[in-house]
């Protein structure tokens, strides 16, 4: 019997991420990469973390920092998050918060909690690839979430067939991969749909703090709480992360939800990894408490200038027929090439001829459509590099489609 024949059926659905495979190629000299959606390491609050880790390892704290801990997460960090979420219009207590190892773990746990094989997850078309992969292990079907109100609850339910619709997943602020924001009306419409279908809403707030223009729109969980009074009556589950603001390497994220959801997720966490690393949570709490509020404006200025540079360079260099999004925040701009163009072929040619990397958009579509799309990230390159990279992209595009 072959090794693979022993694997569970879910294993056959797991595939290597196109993005991670690609990142392996990027160490060559002269490459400009708009591929990975990662923060610029020059912007990490390094001194603050050095200090925080040192404090956590002093005699007063090190027994706790190095010991097993509770699955819910480090108390003072959860308390900081209670205040932080209040600043975003969400009124919750520490009992509504679970600390996770990044928001990626939150997505895995939520897939585990909600999805039986054959159930339906409603997602954007395109949507965050890591969410597709996390949910896919639980063998669901994916259906397209329409945020324009054009599809009613009955149609979603009918399409779900034998299984049922369990949740809608979306990243309403500056989504990965499109950079787009869901407006207030569409957020309210989604809550109506969720009530009609009696499903959960998974709100991924990974990029929420990184807004460069325009007014903040309340999180979906805040809007639902306004309707229903208490977080305990809410079906929305908010996933947060320090990865895009403080550090992705420490793997600290969180979930905010009604207590029955958190209590069940705690059981899942106990079975999976007991708890997220205490030392990282303690350091994150200290850095968040002392510098989160001053760090964010700096990130907004820096990334905002990079977004502006990329938008201007696209105006200057893109041939006719290429369209792109104008995100108000986050890390991504999404390109749509003329029908029939292929983002993957473009990448191969671009790496070969002008040493430019980006991510072909198809991987972000659960049905493998979207061949003529491309994701560009502006977060990890300075403005001069962005201008040079987009000029290179213009060069290859003109030979491919011009
Ligand atoms: C939309 C979105 N959600 C979640 C994540 C996972 O981030 P982390 O696990 O580092 O919090 C990412 C990472 O790129 C993302 O883009």
Residue 248: half-sphere exposure toward Cβ, Cα within 13 Å:
13
Per residue of the chain (402 residues), what is the pLDDT tens digit?
A: 688 889 998 888 887 765 566 657 777 788 999 998 999 999 999 999 999 999 999 999 999 999 999 999 999 999 999 999 999 999 999 999 999 999 999 999 999 999 999 999 999 999 999 999 999 999 999 999 999 888 899 999 999 988 899 999 999 999 999 999 999 999 999 999 999 999 999 999 999 999 999 999 999 999 999 999 999 999 999 999 999 999 999 999 999 999 999 999 999 999 999 999 999 999 999 999 999 999 999 999 999 999 999 999 999 999 999 999 999 999 999 999 999 999 999 998 999 899 999 999 999 999 989 999 999 999 999 999 999 999 999 999 998 775
* Torsional sign, CA 158, 163, 164, 168: negative
- Spacing, Cα 11 to ligand 1 middle (Å): 22
Q: Which of 35, 103, 175 to mutate to test the pocket of ligand 1 (most atoms within 8 A of CB)?
A: 103
Strand spans (E) along 164-205: 165-170, 200-204
- 177 CB under 6 A from ligand 1? no
Q: Which of 243, 332, 334 to mutate to test the pocket of ligand 1 (most atoms within 8 A of CB)?
A: 243
- 243 CB under 6 A from ligand 1? yes
Residue 291 β-bridge partners: none
Are 210 and 245 spatial neighbours (Cβ–Cβ below 8 Å)? Answer: yes
Pairing mode of beta strands 141-144, 120-123: parallel
Distance CA 171, CA 153 (A): 21
Distance CA 127, CA 130 (A): 9
Dump the DSSP string for 195-235.
HHHT-EEEEE-TTTT-B-SS-----HHHHHHHHHSSGGG--
- Spacing, Cα 359 to ligand 1 middle (Å): 16
pTM above 0.85, yes or no: yes
For residue 128, is the peptide bond before it cis, meaning its omega torsion is within 30 degrees of 0?
Answer: no
Which residue's CA is minimally distant from atom 3 of ligand 1? 206
- 336 CB under 6 A from ligand 1? no
Residue 142 β-bridge partners: 121
The SS3 of residue 137 is: coil
Which residue's CA is minimally distant from atom 6 of ligand 1? 104
- Spacing, Cα 339 to ligand 1 middle (Å): 30
């Amino acid at each position: 019997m072959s090794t693979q024949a022993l694997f569970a059926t879910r294993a056959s659905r797991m595939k290597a991420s196109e993005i991670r495979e690609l990142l392996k190629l990027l160490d060559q000299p002269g490459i400009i990469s708009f591929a990975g959606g990662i923060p610029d390491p020059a912007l990490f609050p390094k001194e603050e973390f050095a200090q925080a880790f040192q404090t956590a390892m002093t005699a007063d704290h090190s027994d706790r920092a190095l010991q097993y801990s509770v699955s819910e997460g480090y108390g003072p960090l959860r308390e900081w998050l209670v205040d932080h979420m209040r600043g975003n219009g969400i009124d919750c207590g520490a009992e509504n918060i679970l600390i996770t190892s990044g928001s990626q773990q939150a997505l895995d746990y939520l897939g585990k909690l909600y999805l039986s094989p054959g159930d339906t997850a409603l997602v954007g078309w395109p949507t965050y690839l890591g969410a597709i992969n996390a949910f896919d292990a639980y063998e669901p079907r994916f259906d397209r979430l329409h945020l324009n109100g054009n599809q009613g609850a009955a149609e979603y339910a009918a399409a779900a067939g034998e299984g049922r619709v369990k949740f809608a997943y979306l990243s309403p602020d500056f989504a990965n991969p499109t950079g787009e924001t869901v407006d207030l009306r569409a957020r309210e419409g989604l809550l109506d749909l969720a009530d009609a279908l009696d499903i959960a809403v998974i709100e991924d707030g990974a990029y929420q703090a990184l807004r460069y223009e325009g007014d903040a729109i309340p999180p979906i969980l805040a809007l639902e709480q306004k309707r229903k009074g208490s977080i305990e009556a809410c079906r929305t589950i908010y996933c947060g992360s320090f990865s895009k603001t403080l550090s992705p390497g420490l793997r600290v994220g969180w979930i905010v939800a009604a207590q029955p959801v958190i209590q069940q997720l705690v059981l899942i966490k106990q079975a999976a990894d007991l708890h997220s690393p205490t030392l990282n949570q303690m350091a994150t709490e200290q850095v968040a408490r002392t510098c989160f509020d001053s760090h964010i404006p700096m990130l907004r200025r820096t990334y905002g200038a990079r977004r502006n540079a990329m938008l201007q360079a696209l105006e200057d260099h893109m041939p006719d027929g290429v369209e792109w999004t104008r995100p108000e925040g986050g890390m991504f701009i999404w390109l749509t090439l003329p029908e029939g163009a292929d983002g993957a072929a473009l990448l191969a040619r671009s790496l070969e001829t002008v040493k430019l990397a980006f991510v072909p958009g198809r991987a972000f579509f659960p049905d493998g459509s979207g061949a003529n799309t491309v994701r560009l990230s502006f977060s990890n390159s300075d403005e001069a590099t962005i201008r040079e990279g987009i000029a290179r992209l213009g060069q290859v595009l003109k030979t491919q489609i011009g």
